[in-house]
Amino acid sequence: MRFEPTAEQRDYAGSLDRLLAAVDVPRVARAWAAGDRAPGLALWERLLEQGLGALALEATPVEVCVGFEALGRHGVPGPWVESAAYLPVLLGRELDGPGSVAVLPHVPRALDADVATTLLVVDGDQARTATAGASHASVDPARHLYDVVVGDPVTVAGSPSEAFDLAVLAASAQLLGLGEALLDASVVHVKQRRQFGREIGSYQAVKHRLADVRIGLDFARPLLQGAALGEVPVSAAKVACGDAAYAAARAALQVHGAIGYTRELDLGRRILAVRALVGAWGTPAHHRAALLEHLSARAGAR
């Protein structure tokens, strides 16, 4: 299978990149992590104007991937998977503000529930309203996790399983975008950092490490695209994109050295975002098991 984005999809990706490049997203993310949501909500409104909140209902999963890869590449904080992928499919409508959800057992706590204008808890095929309970820290400081207090039943318009699959796909696209950004930052750094009179990027060991990251991302992208087209299970995309982004994070930290840990450098925030998102919307173990079940069923059918 060969996938080529359409001109409209390329234009949409370009428009999102231009918007986000013109915004100081690292400043927005640091403020979000510190509890100042105003800059993030202002950016939220601008992204809604770009149609990001309507993609799940008015476009195809391919466009959803385009949008969420841009969110990941630029490190935009907030409950976007919940608000622009899961809940629109579940409720059959676009949200007019941030929303969040706990989806048992895979998403036991709601992300950024304190700013959610729509907050639900879903268990199987049953959905209920919810209110935010106790807050919990995440490995990613920009992710604020909340227990949920269950309320009244809610009638849903869509399939919870289809909503979950689209959320997994969106999270996979975010991971791929994060991985691409980490690789780009690493390449820039190794071309500038000098040791023993030469750029560290000139050493074969560094070249090989970053080449492995490039290969991993390039192998993950077709699985993401295949999942968006319905050709492969979304679990395959989540595993591949998670592994590729995690490898990019490890390589980025290695080539940057101790500076990668500093708060002044945006790299550390992206590394922590990868670590948190790898386990979000189903753990790697869950998705590997789901993929094994799918492959075993296909083999049995033959």
- CA-to-CA distance for 1 and 81, rounded, in angstroms? 27
Checking if the pLDDT of 14 tops 90, the result is yes
Residue 99 backbone phi and psi in degrees, to 5:
-130, 165
pLDDT attached to residue 275: 96
pLDDT value at position 233?
A: 96
The two tokens of residue 29 are 């993310």
CATH class of the region 161-301: mainly alpha
DSSP 8-class letter at 134: E
Residue 195 pLDDT more than 80? Answer: no
Mean pLDDT of 135-143: 95
- CA proximity to 8, closest of 44, 46, 45, 55: 55
DSSP string covering 61-127, please?
A: HHHHHHHHHHHHHHT--SSHHIIIIIHHHHHTS--SS-EEEEEETTB-SEETGGG-SEEEEEETTEE
Q: Which residues neighbour 34 within 8 Å (Cβ) at sequence distance 6 or greater?
A: none
Tokens encoding 186: 């690493």
Q: What is the DSSP letter of 50?
A: T
pLDDT for 79-123, tens place per residue?
999 999 999 999 999 998 999 999 999 999 999 999 999 999 999
Distance, in Å, from the CA atom of 47 to the CA atom of 57, rounded to the nearest integer, reads 16
Binned at pLDDT 50, 70 and 90, residue 260 comes out as: confident
Kindly state the average pLDDT of the residues 128-142: 96
Please report the DSSP string for 188-256 in residue order: HHHHH-EETTEEGGGSHHHHHHHHHHHHHHHHHHHHHHHHHTTSS-HHHHHHHHHHHHHHHHHHHHHHH
Task: Judge whether residue 299 has pLDDT over 90.
Answer: no
Amino acid letter, 251: A
- The answer on pLDDT for 197 being more than 80 is no
Q: What's the confidence (pLDDT) of residue 261?
A: 72
265, with CB counted inside 10 A (0-12, 13-18, 19+), is middle
- What values do phi and psi take at 23, rounded to 5? -105, 145
- Decide if pLDDT at 225 tops 90: yes
d(CA 102, CA 122): 6
- Of 215, 286, 223, the C-alpha closest to 247 is 215
**Bigger pLDDT: 115 or 203?**
115
Dihedral sign of CA atoms 118, 120, 126, 128 in order = negative
pLDDT band of residue 196 (cuts 50, 70, 90) is confident
| pLDDT attached to residue 174 | 98
- pLDDT greater than 80 at residue 177: yes
Q: In the predicted model, what is the mean pLDDT of the chain?
A: 94
Q: What is the pLDDT of residues 47-57, one digit of tens each?
A: 999 999 999 99
Share of the chain above pLDDT 90, in %: 86
What are the sequence ranges of the domains in the chain?
A: 161-301
